[in-house]
Structures are given as C-alpha cells and as structure tokens.
Amino acid sequence: MIEVKDVTKKFGRKPVLKGVSFTANKGEITCLIGINGVGKTTILNAIMNLTPLNSGEILIDGERINKHSYEKIAFIPDAITMLPNMKISDAMRFMADYYQCWNQKRADEMIGFFKLNPNDRISTLSKGNTAKVNMLLGLAMDVNYILMDEPFSGIDIFSREQIADVFTSHLVEDRGVIITTHEINDIEHLIDKAVLLNEGVVLKEFNAEEIRESEGKSVIDVMREVYLK
Amino acid sequence: MDVKFNNRDPVYIQVIRHFKEKIATGGYEPGQEIPSRRELANNLKINPNTAQRAYKEMEEEGLIFTEGNLPSRITNDPEVIRNVRKELILEAVHSFVASVQSINVPLEEALHLVKENYQRNKNEQEESL
C-alpha cells in the first residue's frame, strides 16, 4: 500500500499541497482526479521522492520513502524522457542497463501488444505511439507500483483504447497503479478508487463500485456534487 | 462480447445480469466453459477486481462452478437455469405492469395489445430469417 499522510508542499511561498492524505492499494487502480494545476503531478513526484516535502510523510508498504523506493515504483511521465534520435530498441537497452528490475520479456511482449516497431526513432513517433512507448518503458519494470501521469491526455481515441486495455490485461497483474487524469469518461469502469482533488486538498476519496452500490451514483455524479456545490 | 454498461449500477451486478440473460436464452449452454476473470475484464473493458467480484457472486449463487484449476463453467443444474429464466421473466413483467398501471390501461386492453404486438414481432422476426 502507498500511504500519503498529511503532505504539504510549497513552491516558494505558494502552497501546492495543503495536507493531502489518501491511500492506494496494491492490486487496485487509484485515480487522482482534478483540473490542471491542483497538484496531481506534484503528488506523484513526491511519491517518487523527487521533491522534498514541507511536512507529512509517504509510506510504501509501511516504509518511509527513501533512496531505494525507485526499485518498488515506476513513474510514467506525461512526456517522453528519452532522446529524440534514439530508436525504441535503444531506449529499451538504456532502461535495461540502468534498472535491475527491467523485464525484457515483458518489454518485448508490449512491443507486440502495442504493435510498435522497435526500429522507429522516438522523434518520428505520433503522440499516441509516444505515449505507448512511455507506457512500455514503465510497465516493463518489475515493480509493485506504477504511477502514470495523465496517460490519456492529448492522444487519439484508438491509442486511448489500447492504453486502457493495458489496465485490464496481465501487464498490470496484481500491481498497484495510481493514475492522474482530468477526464474520467473513458475509464470510469476501469478504476477501483477515485481521489478528488482541488487546490491542494483531497475533497473526497471513494471506491467507485461501492458508491454505485450504496448510493446509486456514478463517479461523475459524485464529482458534480463535490466540485459544483 | 459486447455489453453496454450504465454508470450508476454496480458493474458487477450488470455483469451478472449479462450472464443471466445469456444463460436464460441459451447463449451459454449448461456446462459451457466461460472466459477467465482476466479475459472477461479485458473483453468488457472493466476493472479486473470487478470481474472477480462478479464471478465470486455467481459462484455463490450457483450460476457457475469451478473445479480445481480448470476454467469456470456454467451450471449444469436445470433447476438453477429454470430459476434464472423465471427471474428474468418476472422482472420484465413487473416493469411492464408498473408502466402500464402508471398510464391507467385496463388489464384486458393491455393483454390484447401484448398479444397483438407479440405476434407481429414474431412474424417480422420469422420473415427476416
């Protein structure tokens, strides 16, 4: 389990996270929802130990995040971090050299799953294929948790569908996933938990099936209540 | 496999409903092998935990069964299958009665229209075959 406990973070004097708390379980898909600029990416960076906190703490499987945390978590950013003139195969080799937890078998499988050509250069890829390569580089790591920053934003519908297919496939297996999004439509039936954020605070955290069962409400119904009241 | 899910009912209940319809109409035969939980999640684009939940409930209701590590199968129990069919018919009748009553249609007139309509639909279906 990833536990985010009362985390605060300021950029200069500007508070970005004002006491954020939530949990994300292994074997579940947790979705951080909020419009742009509410601190979603900052939360992911904090979980990756990429940004120092002002207060609060983050635990991974009961252990405070430390410099070894990256062996347990993969971060899939919303833009590719590989050099433009690299081929997809070069990018995979780079990851294999850099990370002990790299799983080449799963990487090869994902090339097929996404119908990518390993000889294509990063600079020549469409937005959709860039997102898929990004996804591949993260998911091919043998880690317990995967963080995905806006995996669906700005790409075509077919690429979105293919990426959504990852969530129901064995590629995610029993790992814990945290994804951020400002649009829930496509994935309402895919997620376990929703965490609604606004201006650096968690307004509501709930399980999507439970809220349908107990209150007969869709995720969007709840969002409407929470954000528009 | 194509199911249109609504957003407000629990997805696992909608999955069970889908299976019941297929069982009642013979789309799934007694003893037929069904997809694994993972395959079902993938086919229907739903959360794997939800697929798991639906299978667990169906297993408890006796609609499906699993032996050891083998794939799950549709029940062979004719009693269970009859009950599923009965449940779906009663549900349909119930919602029909509710909507007919809400517009004050007398029973005789409603039944007459049902017969007429039923026959016409059946004829059209047969012609189109």
Give residue-wise pLDDT tens across range B25-65. Answer: 889 999 999 999 989 999 998 999 999 999 999 999 999 99
Q: Distance between CA atoms of B72 and A40, rounded to whole angstroms? A: 41
Contact A212 B5 (CB under 8 A): no
Instruction: Identify whether the C-beta of residue A89 lies closer than 8 Å to the C-beta of residue A82.
Output: no
Element counts in chain A: helices (H) and strands (E): 7, 10
pLDDT of residue A4: 97
Contact residues on chain A for B38, CB-CB shorter than 8 A: 168-170
Cβ-based contacts of B49 with chain A (< 8 Å): 27-28, 192
A27, A189, A221 member nearest B5 (Cβ): A189
For residue B62, the model assigns a pLDDT of 94
* CB contact A225 to B (< 8 Å): no
Nearest to B10 among A27, A191, A209 (CB): A209
> What is the bridge-based pairing of β-strands B73-74 and A176-181?
unpaired
Q: Does any CB of chain B come closer than 8 Å to the CB of residue A170?
A: yes
Q: How many residues does chain A have?
A: 229
- For residue A12, give how far its alpha carbon lies from the nearest alpha carbon of chain B (Å): 40
Is A188–B9 a contact, with Cβ atoms under 8 angstroms apart? no
Beta carbons of B8 and A216 less than 8 Å apart: yes
Q: Identify the CA nearest to B88 among candidates B28, B32, B16.
A: B16
Tell me the one-letter amino acid at A131: A
> Interhelix angle for A127-139 vs A157-168, to 10°?
20
DSSP secondary-structure letter at B71?
P
Q: Does A139 touch chain B (CB under 8 A)?
A: no
Tens digit of pLDDT at every position of chain A (229 positions): 999 999 999 999 999 999 999 999 999 999 999 887 788 999 999 999 888 999 999 999 999 988 888 789 999 998 888 888 999 999 999 999 999 999 999 999 999 999 999 999 999 999 999 999 999 999 999 999 999 999 988 888 899 889 989 998 888 888 999 999 988 887 899 999 999 999 999 999 999 999 999 999 999 999 999 998 7
Which 3 state secondary structure label does DSSP give B4?
coil
Nearest to A184 by CA among A211, A159, A219: A219
In whole angstroms, give the CA distance from residue A12 to residue B113: 74
pTM for the full model?
A: 0.87
Dihedral-angle region of residue A216 (phi above 0 means left; psi in -120 to 50 means alpha; beta otherwise): left
Do A209 and B8 lie within an 8 Å CB cutoff? no
B63 vs A39: CA distance, rounded Å: 46
pLDDT for residue B1 = 64
* Residues in chain B, overall count: 129
Determine the residue among B3, B14, B17, B47 to mutate to test chain A binding: the one whose Cβ has the most chain A Cβ atoms within 10 Å. Answer: B47
pLDDT tens column, B92-110: 899 988 888 888 888 888 8
User: Which pLDDT belongs to residue A67?
Assistant: 80
* Total Cβ atoms within 10 A of residue A72: 18
Cα separation values, A218 from A40, A188, B62, B68, B70, Å: 22, 8, 29, 37, 35
Q: Is B7 in Cβ contact with A192 (below 8 Å)?
A: no
**What ipTM, to 2 d.p.?**
0.83
Q: Which residues of B touch A189 (CB under 8 A)?
A: 5, 11, 45-47, 50
Name the minimum distance, in Å, from the CA of A99 to any CA of chain B: 28
pLDDT band (50, 70, 90) for residue B69? confident
Question: How far is CA B78 from each of CA A204, B29, B87, rounded to the nearest angstrom?
Answer: 46, 11, 14
Contact criterion met (CB below 8 Å) for A40 and A4: no
Q: Max Cα separation, chain A? A: 52
CATH topology of domain B11-76: Arc Repressor Mutant, subunit A (1.10.10)
User: Touching check for A213 and chain B: CB below 8 Å?
Assistant: yes
CATH 3.30.390.10 fits A2-228, yes or no: no
Cβ within 8 Å of B, A 32-91: none
Domain boundaries, chain B: 11-76, 79-128
Residue A100 corresponds to which amino acid?
Answer: Q
Residue A197's φ and ψ, nearest 5 degrees, are -115, 150
What pairs with residue A18 in β-bridges? Answer: A8
Separation of alpha carbons B6 and B14, rounded Å: 8
CB A134 within 8 A of CB A82: no
Return d(Cα B37, Cα A145) in angstroms, integer: 22
Cα–Cα dist A178/B67, whole Å: 35
Size of interface A-B (CB pairs under 8 A): 52
What pLDDT, on the 0 to 100 scale, is given for residue B33? 95
CB of B13 within 8 A of CB of B51?
no
Nearest CA in chain A to B41: A168
